[in-house]
Chain A
Amino acid sequence: MTALLKHPGYDEERLQRVAEQLPCREVQVGMLLSLMGQPQQYSYPSVFIYGHRASGKSHVMHVLMKELELPHATVSCVECVSVVLLFEQVLLSFFGCDAASLLPRSPSLSDFVRIYRQQCSQSPAKQTRYIVMEKAELLRDTDASLLPALLRLQELVEDNVTVILLSEIIWDKFRPNTGCFEPLLLHFPDYSKGELQQILSQNRHSSYSAEFYSTYINILLGVFYSVCRDLRELRHLAALNFSKFCEPLVEGKVKETDTHKLWKHIEPHLKKAMQTVYLREVSSLQWEQMQQMEEKEAGALRGLSAHTHVELPYYSKFLLIAAYLASYNPARTDKRFFLKHHGKIRKTNFLKKNEKTSNHLLGPKPFPLDRLLAIFYSVVDSRVAPTASIFSQISSLVTLQLLAQVSHDDQLDAPKYKCAVSLEFICAISRTVNFDIVKYLYDFL
């Protein structure tokens, strides 16, 4: 590790500080530093760094730039809704606010390069200037010439400047049609389980021993590692559930060393956390409150998705049921389901070659309005007049996004719809009107 920290041109004390802040990233930092070279030397025009979310891309860049006090501009492409903001940010951090104010009202790349050159001739770079672009994948959606121009910015402005792009997506998906100046690719690998354990164990609670906390992290990783490797997510979960883990200790039931009992206590709790707080069904605040309320079992609180129950008028419910049936049943089977004098239904007779996979796998099919109304009259017991209110209920179901209008070409004449609700939802609805929907569904025959 110390060998990696010997980079001429940089202060050794500062390098030491950098190394302390970047655990498990020694190889990458060493690589980056040696590529950057000494501050006054030229660095490669563009470097593209890719890696999974929370693999320390931005953090490494941030710490390096800050600790080594290199001239840099950090730009997040999410914030830059227009290129103006990007140009302003870069000019501001390199040359001060006077330069940024030189930009005309709607600047083009040409203006930016002109002002940059102008400023640069007044204050030439003594050190390599770095432009760090976070979330670089969004650059693809902006002006087509922006990305190629940034990649060869060093040549365009004739200054010692390096553009560093950070992204989750691989470079192959960035390359423009006619090609561009190829950047230097650098990969930040994911943290292994051991490294995650090491990093997570660092921010331990001061009132407990290090081994105790690392046991906790170990258990946490045991539950979550197969699903989630995102360091930030894991850190958040670790912080949320630690108080629950300590509970038996506070009550004096077990000792710190009794790992098995601790595990038994926390494991179901963590499993529940995966279904609730990991999916943001229950917010972190609610989860913490729940942990404090002893008597209430965790997860008894209804999550976000449990709030899908909606109150609908009587006919709307039937309209929705009819729409669901129309969406998930093939039209050929309507006669057998909804006419009075039908024979025995045998599924094998119906099966066509392309219908082997059920509709619940393929998703809802569109249906015309006529079919919806026909099924509606058949499933509603009483006589219903086709009044304006029925039709307005259909369109209000569309605005509630329970139905979706498929083709927008014709508003009045023969519109087509799709049902956009799930099976659980429609089952709940049909239960309230005492309608057995499963009996009518072709897939469950």
Chain B
Amino acid sequence: MSKRKAKDAHLPIGECITQVQQILRERFCERQLPDRLDGVEAQYKHLLELLRRTAVHGESNSVLIVGPRGGGKTTLLQCVLRDLQEEEEVEKNLLQVHLNGLLQTDDRIALKEITRQLQLENVVGDKVFGSFAENLAFLLEALKKGDRSTSCPVLFVLDEFDLFAHHKNQTLLYTLFDVSQSAQAPIAVVGLTCRLDVLELLEKRVKSRFSHRQIHLLSGLNFAQFLERVQMQLSLPDSFPDNKFAQEWNASVKTLCEDKSVEEVLQRHFNSSKNIRSLHVLLMLCLSRVSVAKPAIKPADLLEASRMCFADSTANMLHGLSILELCLVIAMKHLNDIYEGEPFNLQMVHNEFKKFLQRKSSSIYNFEQPVIMKAFEHLQQLELIRPSTGPRSNPSGKYQLVRLTLDHSQIMEALQKYPQCPTDVKQWAMSAFG
């Protein structure tokens, strides 16, 4: 079958949807590198040039990539590495070591990982032998022996760089930066971090050995570009097997992005964050609604997904409280109003609740103290109230001082939405006493 014929072949609709899901899911889970980067061309060029100099000419470099979470730091680096690998000279020459601050939580583990990834002589199979000191000496020896002309350049990638700065004495960082400064084996140290003040974390001797080269990935996206990005994220690539379906899909995505209500929703998202990753969550929720019966994303899907993203989780939890617990929350709200945010204990809450019951004639809410205590403890478990700071001296929970972690408006809003809320409770909450 010729290529052209394969392109024109129509797949059944179920197959198409499966393909769409497959492609877009991989994209949203960031399992796939984009073909080209948008908006970071300058940074890309800078980093590529830098790493090429290390890989080809044997120059030692250090650089920090700084940007917010989900700002595309890893993607940038991986794109650069992918394009760098295409060069034949680099591919057989460059050694890579990938470390992550979350995994290599101290220098000992990091050192073992380096030795393992470089496959040095004291590695047998998967095991690394020797003590920490031996490992370090060995590694330093191995790096020192090399020089610019003969030895292989090594690329160190330190993900979550700020966590490495919390290691004891910053030995690893010192060693790496020191090697990159002196005429030893050529290495490039690339740190990825989301902390803008990362240089303040470094010790003076470490800082002085760092080249102070920083690449900032701050998103300067405006809304038009953001919309474009949304459309790009949702469109199918040209390599999609069923050409006709892909065209239809892309057209439907285009009309979707031009829809007024969709634009409004996206504007709201844009205002809360320009982050692409939070956009992925939204699009993932949309995508999950695509099925054989409904083979396109409709504006209603996006609205629904956005509603899910913006749902207030505290309000959701308040919705599920029992009447008694809700009454206690209202009593706490009154106490907060009267005593201006001073911490309170169960006794005071109970007292406030009793005052409400006295003013009301019927006594359906006349619960015993232990029942109220149980409700109070449930609120504490949900962390709607937290113990106020200070030593917990008394063993009985009755007098423990706590604070409410809810806002005034959150309580009122929850009360409005509460199913079958008794009128007197509502009035009590509204009443501006105190």
Contacts and interface: CB of A to CB of B under 8 A. Distances in A.
A37 B194 contact: no
Interface stretch (B26-34, B171-179, B183-191, B218-226): B26-34
Nearest to B370: A279
B396 interface: yes
Interface string B333-351: 0000000000001011001
A227 B375 contact: yes
Contacts of A44: 28-29, 281, 284
A109 B102 contact: yes
Contacts of B109: 108, 110
A179 B69 contact: yes
B394 A420 contact: yes
A169 B398 CA distance: 23
A112 to B, nearest CB: 8
A38 B20 CA distance: 12
Contacts of A180: 69
Contacts of B28: 44
Nearest to B326: A226
Contacts of B42: none
B14 interface: yes
Interface in B355-385: 364-365, 367-368, 370-371, 374-375, 381-383
Given A41-B25, A229-B322, A279 B316 contact: no
B352 to A, nearest CB: 10
B284 A35 contact: yes
A35 B289 CA distance: 8
B247 interface: no
Contact of B14 (A8, A52, A155, A281): A8
A274 B365 contact: no
Contacts of A155: 30, 74
B195 A275 contact: no
B105 interface: yes
Nearest to B27: A42
A154 B195 CA distance: 23
A34 interface: yes
A52 B70 CA distance: 30
A195 B394 CA distance: 41
A156 interface: yes
Contact of B105 (A35, A108, A229): A108
Nearest to B349: A361
Contact of B102 (A145, A226, A228): A145
Given A37-B21, A227-B375, A305-B370, A170 B394 contact: no
B170 interface: no
A329 interface: no
A229 B317 CA distance: 13
A226 B365 contact: yes
A170 B102 contact: no
Nearest to B322: A229
Interface in A224-274: 225-229, 274
Interface string A335-366: 00000000000000000000001001111100
Nearest to A229: B322
A360 B317 CA distance: 32
Contacts of B323: 225-227
A152 B70 CA distance: 12
Contacts of B419: 192
Most buried by B among A274, A281, A363, A422: A363
Given A37-B288, A118-B126, A275-B371, A404 B394 contact: yes
Nearest to A36: B288
A279 B371 CA distance: 7
The main secondary structure of chain A at its interface with chain B is loop
Contacts of B347: 360-363
B230 interface: no
A360 B347 CA distance: 8
A42 B368 contact: no
B311 interface: yes
A22 to B, nearest CB: 18
Contacts of A201: none
B163 interface: yes
B317 A52 contact: yes
Contacts of A228: 322
Interface residues of B, number: 74
B393 interface: yes
B271 interface: no
Interface stretch (A90-98, A182-190, A376-384): A182-190
Interface string A136-166: 0000000101001100101110000000000
B269 interface: no
A62 B109 CA distance: 36
B25 A113 contact: no
Contacts of A6: 291-293
Given A169-B382, A170-B313, A178-B194, A364 B102 contact: no
A229 B370 contact: no
Interface string A1-32: 00100101100000000000000000000010
Contact of A274 (B18, B351, B371): B371
A278 interface: yes
B261 interface: no
B367 A110 contact: no
B434 to A, nearest CB: 13
B322 A38 contact: no
Interface in B383-412: 383, 393-396, 398-399
Contacts of A34: 288-289, 291
A170 B103 contact: no
A156 B25 contact: no
B214 interface: no
Given A42-B25, A149-B103, A420-B395, A363 B313 contact: no
B2 interface: no
A418 interface: yes
B320 interface: yes
B320 A52 contact: yes
Nearest to B320: A190
A102 to B, nearest CB: 9
B319 interface: yes
B423 to A, nearest CB: 15
A439 interface: no
B149 interface: no
Given A41-B21, A110-B113, A279-B374, A226 B368 contact: no
Contacts of B231: none
Contacts of A364: 394, 399
A55 B308 CA distance: 19
B68 to A, nearest CB: 8
Smallest CB-CB A-B distances: 3 pairs: A363-B399, A190-B320, A34-B288
28 contacts: A3-B293, A34-B288, A34-B289, A35-B285, A42-B22, A42-B26, A44-B284, A50-B317, A108-B103, A108-B109, A145-B163, A149-B102, A152-B102, A168-B382, A179-B194, A180-B69, A182-B70, A184-B281, A190-B319, A190-B320, A226-B364, A227-B324, A279-B371, A361-B345, A364-B399, A404-B393, A404-B395, A418-B394
Given A172-B314, A184-B281, 4 more contacts: A42-B22, A170-B316, A361-B351, A418-B394
Interface of A: 3, 6, 8-9, 31, 34-35, 37-38, 41-45, 50-52, 55, 108-110, 113-114, 118, 143, 145, 148-149, 152, 154-156, 168-173, 178-182, 184-185, 187, 189-190, 192-193, 225-229, 274-275, 278-279, 281, 305, 357, 360-364, 401, 404, 406, 418, 420, 422
